[in-house]
Structure 1
Amino acid sequence: MTKIKINGAQAWFLAARPKTLTAALIPVAAASALAFSNGHLEWLPTLLCVCFAALMQIAANFINDLFDFLKGTDGKDRLGPERACAQGWITPQAMRKGIILTIVPACAAGLGLLPFGGWGLAILGISCIIFAFLYTTLLSYCGLGDLLVWVFFGFVPVAGTYYVQAGQLIPEVWWLAAACGLVTDTLLVLNNYRDRDTDRISGKRTLIVTMGEPFGRYFYFLQGVAGYLCVAALALYGHTWVAILPMFYLLPHYLTWRKMVEINHGRELNRILGFTSRNMLTFALLVVAAFIAEKLQ
């Protein structure tokens, strides 16, 4: 890799981990597609939700980078992607400033949503910020990381995005939120599956460390299947296409799972991260395409 200038633009780009933005934008896209299908799509709140989700994801990446470095659990021998602080690309002092300079515009985007959803959204926004810190500093060490993904990459963004556009919540929102949370969590499960040995040594008690490797491999697979079943349940509310098109997500998910089990451990599992991100994006695009197809019929 080309030598990276300390605190330079390339260092910040790598620290932002742009590939993770897919996870943040999937629930916003899915909820907006549902709103479109129901005749409620509003572009301004949609764009504000996109900005808030993307900026909070970047802020969470910065927070994770900084606090893992300060804890001494993210050195250069880490199996996962290299972190900016651990590599010396960004100083801890600069990373602290970066966290603030990312959270502030995220809050501005959140404030812009208040006219569409009321002051109750402020509580959700504050919760997102608080748990972005708690995840790295506490909750990921006691097996609650998956729960946070289900909530903050599923129920909070899907319900929030739909509400600021439609002004109400309907049963379909909760099924869609569950689907997004489950499918997105496959990425965290894969990370924890890959890092299970180093996590055990560092005292990070993820579910896979606690329950063991066999649990981890099936947890990954079953979450993807459960995510599809949740969107398939939308057929009960007349969304037939949403039960059909996302079915094509299951084959690449299964093939990725087979490859993950075959590799089993080590740095080579980083390749599966790319496949998992691709599968998540495939799932989201199929869901969005299904809602659009229904609306245009």
Structure 2
Amino acid sequence: MWVATARKPVQKRTEPSRGGKSGRPGGQPPRAVVRTATVGDWIGGARLRTLPLAVSPVALGTASAYLLSAPGWHWVRALLALAVAVCLQIGVNYANDYSDGVRGTDRYRVGPSRLTGSGAAKPRTVLIVAVVFFGLGALGGLALVVLTGYYWLIAVGAVCIVAAYFYTGGKRPYGYYGLGEVFVFVFFGLVATLGTTFTQVGSVNIESWLGGVAAGFFACAVLMVNNLRDLEQDRLAKKHTLAVLVGNRGARILFTVFVLIPYLILIFFSIFYAKAPLVYFTLLGAIPVIVITLTGKTPPEFVLALKITSLTALVFGLGLAAAIAF
């Protein structure tokens, strides 16, 4: 998905020409030299600020599993589910960097530069890194399958990886047709939460379903504010995100709805779990981010909103997980 971490823009310089047999006065013409990606650039390409979207559903799914069978709670399976979620999140970030770069979409970006689009890294290298993280996620998923004995989950994992790549990859990426929010809601909300619960106890409950919905809408909010920042540039690049389709005002309203729905779901948990109302303290992050998004006009404002939304999603998920389990 997704959201690039701020990195220094590509620095270009020209080397003076040296004497040679170029047939031109003064030798060969100056050549543009592109800065090679550093370790920091690669870490930035992983977009670490999006990782809370992988952690939160696993926490909620684990808490729901603990509720179903506390004596039989499998912490190893919980860690494997977390590894799968994190690896797939990083993998889709690099795959998005690669696909948007080779497609030329990033020519219109006003936000932080990307590895592929900036020329700091070769497209093939970025793709290989994406595949490596997809592979690591697949290995973690395979370990879960072996431990649980539910071999049909291999098909679920394969669908997750395919969906992650074709979000912006392939000839007709569905992320270019307003379906990005559907992807993150299903896979980084429902599938991540329900899958975590199921692989630990072999069943799911209402807590897992509702937790998955809450996590999914937070993920949608993060994607929406990211695309709101790039709305005009995506329109020029003919990348028809949901933000582009509904327009500036509609995107801001949808973002607000996405952020508030988890707090409506929290009403259910507050009825049955004494500590759940404490999670409403995360509104201290949610309300300001709504105000910033509704009134923001510059890319830095939307980047700030993205950071706060991601952090709020993490604290919400961890807090609610603790309220369910303890």
TM-score where L is the length of structure 1: 0.90
Give the match's secondary structure for 2:168. helix
Q: Give the residue type in structure 2 aligned to 1:9.
A: V
Q: Give the residue type in structure 1 aligned to 2:321.
A: V
Aligned match for 2:320, one of 264, 287, 293: 287
Aligned match for 2:275, one of 218, 241, 254: 241
Q: Which residue matches 1:266?
A: 299
Distance (whole Å) between structure 2 residues aligned to residue 7 and residue 122 of structure 1: 35
CA contact (8 A) 1:5 1:11 kept: no
CA contact (8 A) 1:27 1:157 kept: yes
Gaps of 5+ in 2: 1-7, 12-33
Q: Which residue matches 2:136?
A: 105
The answer to whether residue 221 in structure 2 is matched with residue 186 in structure 1 is yes
Aligned match for 2:114, one of 46, 61, 83: 83
Name the % identity.
Answer: 30
Deviation, 1:266, is 3.5
Bigger CA drift: 84-93 or 5-14?
Answer: 5-14
Q: Give the residue type in structure 2 aligned to 1:161.
A: T
Q: Which residue matches 1:51?
A: 83
Distance (whole Å) between structure 2 residues aligned to residue 101 and residue 252 of structure 1: 35
- CA change 1:100–1:206 in 2 (3 A) is closer
Distance (whole Å) between structure 2 residues aligned to residue 249 and residue 83 of structure 1: 31
Distance (whole Å) between structure 1 residues aligned to residue 121 and residue 248 of structure 2: 34
The answer to whether residue 241 in structure 2 is matched with residue 199 in structure 1 is no
Aligned match for 2:64, one of 34, 45, 52: 34
Deviation, 1:291, is 2.2
Q: Which residue matches 2:20?
A: none
Q: Give the residue type in structure 1 aligned to 2:196.
A: T
Aligned match for 2:48, one of 4, 7, 18: 18
Q: Which residue matches 1:122?
A: 154
Larger Rg: 2
Q: Which residue matches 1:210?
A: 245
1:91-170 equivalent positions in 2, closer than 5 A: 91-114=122-145, 115-116=147-148, 118-137=150-169, 138-170=173-205
CA contact (8 A) 1:256 1:272 kept: yes
Deviation, 1:150, is 0.7
Distance (whole Å) between structure 1 residues aligned to residue 186 and residue 274 of structure 2: 26
Deviation, 1:58, is 1.0
Q: Which residue matches 1:6?
A: 36
Distance (whole Å) between structure 2 residues aligned to residue 277 and residue 145 of structure 1: 17
Distance (whole Å) between structure 2 residues aligned to residue 71 and residue 202 of structure 1: 9
Gaps of 5+ in 1: none
Q: Give the residue type in structure 2 aligned to 1:241.
A: K
- CA change 1:251–1:8 in 2 (3 A) is closer
Deviation, 1:5, is 6.7
Q: Give the residue type in structure 2 aligned to 1:11.
A: D
Q: Give the residue type in structure 2 aligned to 1:92.
A: P
The answer to whether residue 286 in structure 2 is matched with residue 253 in structure 1 is yes
Q: Give the residue type in structure 2 aligned to 1:278.
A: L
CA contact (8 A) 2:189 2:213 kept: yes
Distance (whole Å) between structure 2 residues aligned to residue 9 and residue 179 of structure 1: 34
Distance (whole Å) between structure 1 residues aligned to residue 301 and residue 321 of structure 2: 32
Aligned match for 1:225, one of 260, 263, 267: 260
- CA change 1:41–1:232 in 2 (3 A) is farther
